[in-house]
């Protein structure tokens, strides 16, 4: 991120843009900056590789011209194409904050953190106000006094459905169970996709505001996460062999 005449400017590598497109090239440049910094600082090194981390919501703050959904798609595409690696090195088991590393040899390091392979050439500006790793992994709740913010999910549910649900012990238990497999951004995106589902807004309208219909197991979160919210999800799932009852 470069500051030019009080304006923030993002950069990208020309060769990356030619190969992957400008959107992915911008994200590669961001990751390259932070991974190079972590190599230099000998930080975030796990399993012989240097990593960085952030959530989709924080990426959306860094790249305000991309929506959270757009960023999720771009990151997933980069993983599918083998450009980006992801892992989980968080201390708490329920913390699904993703860690990322570019699949380049210079980010494989030895025990002395010296790059094993020849460094990929990329000119990076020396910036005091450059990209920021702006989110910390969820801390271990057994080691801190501040409680986990379960309310964020209930508030989003109420915002989407016009309900007035409150945080209860049973809801916290359901949320904790889902966080063992999904991160916060994935669950929120799944909630938004579900809200747009055509079947739930039609024949299945009686289930739309049913909290437990969504939260009772991982299958519901995963299914709505992996579909387009504005498409005909009901037809898509039926084609895969799922019944309308199974969706709930």
Residues ≥6 apart with Cβ < 8 Å to 157: 163, 165, 191, 211
CA atoms within 13 A on the CB side of 14: 1
Q: What is the pLDDT of residue 42?
A: 85
Q: 88-124 burial, b for 16+ CB within 10 Å, e for fewer? A: eebebebbbbbbbbbebebbebeeeeebeeeeeeeee
Q: What is the pLDDT of residue 94?
A: 61
Nearest to 69 by CA among 236, 220, 233, 226: 226
Q: What is the pLDDT of residue 51?
A: 92
Q: What is the pLDDT of residue 114?
A: 46
Give me the tens of pLDDT residue by residue for the chain, a chain 248 residues long.
444 444 467 888 999 999 999 999 999 999 999 899 888 888 888 888 999 988 777 788 888 888 888 888 899 999 999 999 988 887 766 666 788 999 988 888 764 444 444 444 444 444 333 444 555 554 443 433 346 788 999 999 999 999 999 999 899 889 988 888 888 888 999 999 999 999 999 998 999 999 998 998 888 888 888 775 444 444 444 333 344 434 33
Helix axis angle, 169-179 to 218-225, nearest 10°: 60
């Amino acid at each position: 991120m470069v500051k030019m005449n009080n304006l923030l400017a993002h950069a990208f590598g020309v060769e990356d843009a030619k190969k992957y497109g400008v959107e992915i090239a911008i994200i590669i440049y961001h990751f390259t900056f932070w991974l190079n910094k972590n190599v230099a600082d000998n930080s975030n090194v796990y399993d012989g590789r240097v990593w960085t981390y952030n959530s989709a919501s924080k990426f959306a703050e860094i790249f305000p011209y991309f929506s959270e959904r757009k960023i999720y798609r771009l990151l997933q595409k980069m993983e599918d194409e083998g450009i980006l690696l992801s892992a989980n090195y968080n201390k708490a088991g329920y913390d699904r904050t993703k860690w990322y590393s570019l699949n380049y040899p210079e980010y494989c390091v030895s025990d002395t953190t010296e790059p094993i392979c020849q460094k990929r050439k990329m000119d990076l500006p020396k910036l005091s106000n450059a990209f920021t790793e702006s989110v910390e992994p969820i801390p271990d709740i057994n080691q801190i006094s501040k409680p986990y913010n379960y309310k964020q999910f209930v508030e989003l549910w109420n915002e989407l459905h016009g309900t007035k649900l409150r945080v209860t012990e049973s809801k916290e238990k359901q949320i904790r169970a889902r966080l063992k497999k999904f991160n916060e951004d994935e669950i929120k995106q799944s909630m938004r996709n579900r809200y747009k589902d055509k079947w739930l807004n039609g024949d299945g309208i009686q289930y739309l505001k049913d909290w437990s219909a969504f939260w009772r197991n991982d299958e519901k979160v995963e299914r709505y996460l992996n579909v387009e919210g504005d498409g005909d999800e009901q037809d898509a799932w039926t084609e895969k062999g799922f019944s309308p009852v199974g969706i709930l």
